[in-house]
Amino acid sequence: MTDAARPDAEDDHHWLDDDHPREECGVFGIFGHPDAATITALGLHALQHRGQEAAGIVSFDGRRFHSERRLGLVGDNFSKASVIEQLPGSVAIGHTRYSTTGETILRNVQPLFAELAGGGFAVCHNGNLTNGLTLRRQLIAEGAIYQATSDTEVILHLVARSKRNRFIDRFIDALGQIEGAYAFVGMTNKKLVGARDPLGIRPLVLGRLDGHPIFASETCALDIIGAKFEREVDPGEVIVIDEHGELESLRPFAPRTPRPCLFEYVYFARPDSIAGGRNVYEVRKRIGATLAQESPVEADVVVPVPDSGVPAAIGFAQDSAIPYELGIIRNHYVGRTFIQPTQSIRELGVRLKHSANRAVIEGKRLVLVDDSIVRGTTSRKIVKMMREAGATEVHFRIASPPIRFPDFYGIDMPEQDKLLAAKMSLEDMRAYLGVESLAFITIDGLYRALGETGRNNAAPQFTDHYFTGDYPTPITDLVSEGAKQLSLLAEAS
């Protein structure tokens, strides 16, 4: 049996990662501040949880654009004065990346930059364009020359080819041609621009530091620099900061009922961020409490899978009156590539990142709480670790519904046939994980934890397709690729 066929197979790239959806990306931009690049680097540091593969900053000093794009962590690349000195100017935008489309190579690291007819334009993007490949093929057929494999480059070509006169009109013209989820931050030699997709799937907020406007993916990026949160960029809104620092709000698209991404609350956003007017930490505690009400269990101790399972485990423990303990200790200093992932080392993988706290676990009935299960590979190993540490029973409680469908909006979830809940029944998953009981929060329970009465099936309040299969926008690339495959099959037959 090949690795690809084994249910517990893990590719080399993620052999040491938690069994969670991979992060999205983080964007940041500031206008008019004398230390724009330094502020941007600090903002990206706060957004590091959204992507750890690469980071980049572009600044403008009034005459020239300056760019530094590096593979690796923000702190490893932008903490040195020698790097920041290469980024002079009072306007800067930055990006921290986890690749959902395109390879992890330097030419894909954002912000991307191009010289257009009206001057330079730099842009960075959180999300994924569901017609990006289709547009890319069309543009290349018409003579466009691509430098990167990221879908973000589409926006540069669309802006460059627009026949509108003003830059902002060309930018809006480009937005009108794309589908999917996006939060864009862009800059020209005169303007800073922020834009959010019409459904508000990807987050973007507006803040100010000493009067200077800022765009960021999350409010935690404002907190780290002492900036004031002003408001969220509304779904479908384009905000333009002109050369005088004046703000103009444009709403070029027909209004739609917002559907922000549920996974921001379940996993992606930092717990200290505010999203949709809700404190993420408090939401996650309520999710845990709701989970305890829906799926109670007799146990001695509640143990979180760190770090993302911690708030939900606290909520579960408080609601069920079962003691909360740190039964798993996480090592935060293990990198992906500190050692070659040979088979013998691969088998140690989960222990390099998580260690059992035997004093808490031995002889106890555990409630193990995690935010989600994707492939189930790491979850299975953690359960085994609990058994070996002396747990008499392990009851698994998951603070999201079963993930049965892939994502096309900027979350790196595997194909459907690699999703555990898409392949197995609840009982089969329980047996595969090796636990006494397994329960997920219901979709209505998740909505209630967010302050709703439940899911409005006629008009869902959030983007939740990974649980329900209800995709909020067309998936043009998937449809066109399917049609292409059918055409090839027909030709071969």
Cite the active site residues: 25
Q: How far apart are CA 316 and CA 367, in angstroms?
A: 9
The encoded tokens of residue 59 equal 């600044």
- Whether 205 and 29 have beta carbons less than 8 Å apart is answered as no
CA atoms within 13 A on the CB side of 27: 30
Q: How far apart are CA 259 and CA 289, in angstroms?
A: 24
Query: Which residue in 188, 121, 189 sits closest to 155, CA to CA?
Result: 121
Determine the residue type at 412. D
Q: How far apart are CA 254 and CA 194, in angstroms?
A: 18
Q: How far apart are CA 466 and CA 484, in angstroms?
A: 25
Phi, then psi, of 314 in degrees rounded to 5: -60, -45
The encoded tokens of residue 373 equal 């299960």
Phi, then psi, of 96 in degrees rounded to 5: -120, 135
Q: How far apart are CA 72 and CA 51, in angstroms?
A: 10
The encoded tokens of residue 402 equal 């079963």
The encoded tokens of residue 124 equal 């960075």
Q: What does the angle CA 257 – CA 259 – CA 261 come to, to the nearest 5 degrees?
A: 170
Q: How many CB atoms lie within 10 A of CB 145?
A: 7
Phi, then psi, of 229 in degrees rounded to 5: -70, 125
Bridge partners (DSSP) of residue 121 are: 114
- In sequence order, what are the residues at sequence separation of 6 or more whose Cβ sits closer than 8 angstroms to the Cβ of residue 124? 25, 27, 29, 56, 93, 94, 95, 110, 111, 112, 152, 184, 185, 186
Q: What does the angle CA 267 – CA 272 – CA 278 come to, to the nearest 5 degrees?
A: 80
